[in-house]
Structure formats: C-alpha cells, structure tokens
Structure 1
Amino acid sequence: MSLFIHGCRVRLQKYRQIIDKEKTKCCEFMGKDSTKLLRQRVLERAREKQTIHEAALENKCRKLQNATSSRNDILVHNLESKELRKGQIQVLQHEASFNTTDAKPANTIAALESVINQTEAT
C-alpha cells in the first residue's frame, strides 16, 4: 500500500511541475493580467461544478435515508422454506455473479433479497 501511495505522490509532483511550466508559458503568451483573469474564471467554474456535485450527492443521500426509513428497517426476509428451481439458480449465478453451488438456498435467497432491497433504495 505504501508503494502505491509513494507512486501517487511521485505522479502528483510530476504533474505539478508540468502545470508550473505550462503556467509560465501561458503568462509569457497572454500576459500576467489575462492569465490571472483566466485562472479566476477557471476557479469560479470549478467551484460551481463542486457546488452542483455536492447538491446532487446531498439529494441522493436524502433519498436513501427516506427510502430506508420507510421500509420498517427490514432488509432481509428469511425464507428457509423457499426452494429455488434449477432455472432460478442459473439466473442467479449468471446475472448476479453469485456462486450458489456451495450456498444453502436460504442463504442465497437472503443475500439476494438484501441486494434487491439495497438497490431499490438508489
């Protein structure tokens, strides 16, 4: 993990150097005042996008909270007596990438219901 973090830091330093070089070129080409205005506009636009993104995440979070609170907090129904047909098991294995070979039918059904309940909330 530390090797991964070190690699990320090295890449960030490299990109920072490239950005600094490009900033210098931009200043030489456009002049300091124009470059300053451009930088301000880019920062404004970045803030606008960040605000929109945060609002969307907040909205999504609110929807998730409302959906989970209105379900009586039951995420899994234990259906031990339910037997799956061979076709249903094949669909589970293929579509959900769920290995049912070693799993008990009750555990398979409980896992499936849990996933369905969680995905319905989004």
Structure 2
Amino acid sequence: MKFSVAIAATAIALLPGTDAWRVYFYQLQNEEGPSITNGGPGHPGHACFSNVDPLNQKISSMRYYSDNPDLNTRCCLTLYDSPGCANAFPYTFCRNQFVNFNEINLDNDVSSYSTDCYYIT
C-alpha cells in the first residue's frame, strides 16, 4: 500500500505544469541555433526577467505563446536593451507569434524582458 501511494505521488509530481505563457529565444534567425526558454503561470501582474543569459545581446528570433485558454489568461511580453528590465523597446507582444528580430531592428539587442498578465474576460 505504501509503495502504490509513493508511485502515485511521484506520478503527480512529474505531470507537466500548465504555463499561461511561454517564450523561446534563439541565437539565430528562424528559430535556429542555441536557445533558451521560460514560461509562467500567468497570475495577474507584472514580472521582470532581469537577464537572458547565456544569450544576452545575442538573440535573433523569438517564438512567443501569450494565451492559455484553460486558465483564461493572456500575458504581454516587453523586451529591453539592458539587464533588469531597463530601456524598453517600443514593441509589446500580446499574441502568439514568431518574429525575426532583424525585421524590427532588434537583432542581437535583447538583454531582459517582462510580462504583464491579466485574465481574459
């Protein structure tokens, strides 16, 4: 009996979490090369992700997923040219999308990012 309870608890712990948002940053254009990823639960509010190491100032493309219909949330992503969410670029991404940063003059410029999440009504 104790063994089956331990297996059940382990199985529950291994279930993937549901992210409200997820971002993939790639060193090269078209989602190629080394990458980093992050995601979050989408609780309402603002969060700063103060660096993008080891790709600081080396990011050339991004895939962003902003919504989670199961949680009824949306998160907007803002990019910055300095660590600690300083010096915001004039772009905010609030929908699922892919972007090559050379198309918006941000190639190899991103150092940090933030999310602003809210419930969709």
TM-score past 0.5 threshold:
no
- Greater Rg, structure 1 or structure 2? 1
Query: Which protein is richer in helix relative to its size?
Result: 1
Q: Which band: TM-score by shorter chain? A: under 0.3
TM-score by length of 2: 0.24
Per chain length, whose mean CA-contact separation is higher, i.e. which structure has more relative contact order (CA < 8 Å, sep 6+)? 2
TM-score (norm 1): 0.24
Q: Which has the higher strand share?
A: 2
